[in-house]
Structure 1
Amino acid sequence: MLEIRNLSVSFKDKNVLQDLNLKIEEGKILGILGKNGAGKTTFFESLYQSQKYNGEILWQNKKILRENISYLETENYFYPYITGREYLSYFSKEKLAKTIELAEKFQLPLDKYVQYYSSGMKKKLALIGMLMLDKPINILDEPFNGVDFEGVHLLYDIILELKQNNKTVIISSHIIETLFHTCDRIVTLENGKISNIFEKDRFEELKHFKF
């Protein structure tokens, strides 16, 4: 279980996150909804141990380590003059054959330099690399941004497979419907606080929720 206890983050005089408490079981998918500036990215960076925070973040009752987590950021950086195939080979040569099969489903030109990819193609490539890490906790920050219709449905399948493999998945999205398709629970983040928790049988209420 991933357990977050009294998580708080402050920058100078501003409280960005305030006493967040959450428990996320293995094999569950949690959605995070909130306006820009609500604290979503700070929350993810705290989980990923790249942000100083107060409180506790525990995995299996022990302090969480970065090696427990894979993190798909909203914007992905790639070295110039690297092909998609070269990028993926850095993660795991043993899994490369299966990964190339997934890249073909995403219609990625693996022998093309990544700097010439569209933003949606870069998102797909970064996602594949993240999956190759095979971590128990997976953070997806706006994974559907810039992804075409077919890619969105392939993403649904990938997220479902993560769930079936007992992975913990945390997703943020401005597109509520994508969270309806994937999540077991959705929380709303407002002014650095969790304002509501919606279980699956209450998702319809979110259609009227104001952000």
Structure 2
Amino acid sequence: MLEIKNLKVEFKNQNVLNGVDLALEEGCIVGILGKNGAGKTTLFDSLYQNNKFSGSISWNSGPLKRSSVSYLETENYFYPYITGEEYLSYFAREKKIDGKELTDKFNLPMKKYVQYYSSGMKKKLALIGMLMLDKPVNILDEPFNGVDFEGVHILYDIIRQLKSENKVVIISSHIIETLFHTCDKIAVLKNGRIDRIYNREEFSELNTLKF
């Protein structure tokens, strides 16, 4: 289980996270919903150990380590003169998971330089690299941004596959319908805290939610 207790983050004397509490079981897909500036990315950066924070983040009764987390950021940086094939070779060194099936599904031009990829193609490439790491905790920050219709449905399948492998998956998206399609629960982040957690049967209430 992933447990976040009284998580607080402060930047320049301003509280961004004000005591976040959240508990997630393996095989659970949770969406994080909040307006711009609510602290979603700060929460994800804290889980990935990019931020200084107070409170605790634990995984299976011990402190969560960065080595247990895969993180797909909203914007991904690539060296311009690296091919898709070369990029994924770095991930293959860490884990013996073949990404060829995914590159074929996404129809990526693996021999081309990444600088010639569209934003959606770059997103797909970064996602494949993340999946090749095969971590128990997976964070997807706006994974559907820039991805075409076919890619969205492949993403749905990938997220369901992660669930079947008993992994924790945390997703943010400004397209609420994508959260409805993928999540078991949706947590609303408001005023630096989890305001409420909605179960699947309550998702319809989110259509009328005002921030």
Instruction: Decide: shared fold, TM above 0.5.
Output: yes
Hey, what does 2:111 align to over in structure 1? 111
Give distance in 2, aligned partners of 1:3 and 1:87: 33
Give the drift of 1:72: 0.2
* Residue pairs, 1:43-54, within 5 angstroms: 43-54=43-54
Question: Is the contact made by 2:9 and 2:17 (CA closer than 8 Å) also made in structure 1?
Answer: yes
Query: Which amino acid is the alignment partner of residue 66 of structure 1?
Result: R
Question: Is the contact made by 2:22 and 2:194 (CA closer than 8 Å) also made in structure 1?
Answer: no
Give distance in 2, aligned partners of 1:163 and 1:114: 30
Query: Which amino acid is the alignment partner of residue 13 of structure 1?
Result: N
Give the drift of 1:196: 1.5
Structure 1 residue ranges, 4+ long, deviating more than 3 angstroms after superposition: 93-96
Identity %: 69
Q: TM-score under structure 1 normalisation?
A: 0.97
Hey, what does 1:36 align to over in structure 2? 36
SS for the counterpart of 2:77 is: coil
Question: Is the contact made by 2:21 and 2:193 (CA closer than 8 Å) also made in structure 1?
Answer: no
Hey, what does 2:162 align to over in structure 1? 162
**1:64 aligns to 2:76 (yes or no):** no
Q: TM-score under structure 2 normalisation?
A: 0.97
RMSD between superposed Cα atoms in Å: 1.1
Question: Is the contact made by 2:85 and 2:110 (CA closer than 8 Å) also made in structure 1?
Answer: yes
Give distance in 1, aligned partners of 2:179 and 2:82: 33
Give distance in 1, aligned partners of 2:13 and 2:193: 16
Query: Which amino acid is the alignment partner of residue 8 of structure 1?
Result: K
Give the drift of 1:95: 4.2
Give the drift of 1:13: 2.2
Query: Which amino acid is the alignment partner of residue 186 of structure 1?
Result: I
* Residue pairs, 1:114-129, within 5 angstroms: 114-129=114-129
Q: Any unmatched runs of 5+ in structure 2?
A: none
Give the drift of 1:2: 0.1
* Length, aligned pairs only: 210
Give distance in 2, aligned partners of 1:176 and 1:145: 12
Give distance in 2, aligned partners of 1:133 and 1:210: 37
Give distance in 2, aligned partners of 1:51 and 1:100: 34
* Residue pairs, 1:138-157, within 5 angstroms: 138-157=138-157
Give distance in 2, aligned partners of 1:69 and 1:180: 24
Hey, what does 1:133 align to over in structure 2? 133
Hey, what does 2:201 align to over in structure 1? 201
1:16-53 CA-to-partner distances (Å, cap 9, x unmatched) read: 00111110000100100011100001000000001000
Query: Which amino acid is the alignment partner of residue 168 of structure 2?
Result: T
Give the drift of 1:191: 2.2
1:43-70 CA-to-partner distances (Å, cap 9, x unmatched) read: 0000000100000000001011000100
Give the drift of 1:190: 1.4
Give distance in 2, aligned partners of 1:76 and 1:44: 15
